[in-house]
Structures are given as C-alpha cells and as structure tokens.
Amino acid sequence: MTLNEFPPDEFDAWAESYDESVRTGCGFPFDGYEDVLQTAACLADVAPGDAVLDLGAGTGNLAVLLAAQGARLWCLDFSAEMLAKAREKLPEANFARSDLRAGWPPAFQRRYTAIVSGYTFHHFPLEEKVAQIRRLFEQHLQPGGRLVIADITFPDAAAQEACAHQLGSEWEPEYYWLADEALRAFKEAGWQAEYTQVSPCAAVFKITP
C-alpha cells in the first residue's frame, strides 16, 4: 500500500493505539522499533539549540529523543490525530499538517541543521525517495547538515523475499528500502551515506550532500 492509497483518516484512526502497536515486539514491520529510533537520534548528532525538521513525525517518538538532546523541532505529518498525540508530548515544538511532498507552511520554509524521518519514506518508490532527498538538500538543509532516515529496510532483495515468504498472506508490499540499491543510488547522486541495519527489517541511513 502506498501513501496515496493510505489516506490520512486511516492514520488518524491508528493514532490512539500507534504507540502501543509499535512497541509490543510483534515483529515485522516494527521489529526493533525503539532501537531504530535511538540509533537515528544518535546519528542525527544534534546539539542544544539546533533546528531539526522531522518529516512524518507521527506521534512524536523520534522527536522526543531529539528534544531531550536540546533540539528545536519542526514536525510535519499529514495526520491530524497523530500530530495531536505528538503535541501532547512536545508542547514547545512547531507542528504543521502537510504531505511532505506538498507545499509546506511558511514557518517551515527555512534551513535546518538536521532533517530526520522515521518510518515514512517506504511509501515512495526509490526514484521519488532520491528526488525528495535532493530537494531537501537543495532547499532545506544547512551547509554541513545531515539527513537521517530510519525506516523499514532490507539488506537486499533476497532478504526481503525471505521475509515475504515467511509472512505469507500477512505480507503487505510497499516500497521498502533495499539497502544495496539505495546506497548505489546515493553514490550515483554524489552523496555520502552511512547505513546501519538495526533489525532484520529496519535500518538507519545517514546521508550528507
């Protein structure tokens, strides 16, 4: 299911139970969820006062970790109910409801020390992932900044196929990251990238222009 096929009201309905569902250790696709976010927060390497953009902020779980490091946060998500949960955790952050691919509110039209995203980019095919990253670098990242993406990721197509076979009818195909092809695409774009596989189905990329 792609983001276009998963409308905001589906995420709105999920908001109330989201935090419980990702932390119950129920396996794919959230195996290792908390370790994945902790890894992303570490790789973001923010200092107190740094401006950080969280794309697809959801209920704010990654943003909470960055706030604890002293970051100033701007959080985008297209689900109003998810953002309501995030606001309860982070009343000082800046929030806006928007598809990350659409026009952003004026307050978000700025440059950031770091841009982060958790469990969002797997809704886009690789070509769109790369195009969105390029736009972020060109329009929203400060010189010397970094982009950190934590998401559903397999090392390669064989690993993804093995997971799909194991899950059988429970498998839901989306545009999950394949690390080998993603790293090739980043290299072709001229970017530097670090890749950390945290669980069998999730990893963190740190990408710099």
pTM over 0.85: yes
> Whose CA is closest to 194, among 184, 206, 202?
206
Residues 6+ apart with CB under 8 A from 90: 60, 63, 64, 67, 73, 75
Q: List, in sequence order, every beta strand (DSSP E) within the chain.
A: 51-55, 72-77, 94-97, 112-118, 141-154, 177-178, 192-199, 202-208
User: For residue 2, what pLDDT is reported?
Assistant: 41
Q: Which domains does the chain carry?
A: 3-208 (3.40.50.150)
Looking up tokens 């790369």 gives 130
User: For residue 24, what pLDDT is reported?
Assistant: 65
Residues 6+ apart with CB under 8 A from 62: 37, 40, 41, 54, 116, 118, 150
Structure tokens at 27: 């396996």
Block mean pLDDT (10 aa), the chain, length 209? 55 83 81 96 98 97 98 96 96 94 93 97 96 97 98 98 96 96 98 97 98
User: For residue 1, what pLDDT is reported?
Assistant: 39
Structure tokens at 119: 């469990």
User: For residue 31, what pLDDT is reported?
Assistant: 93
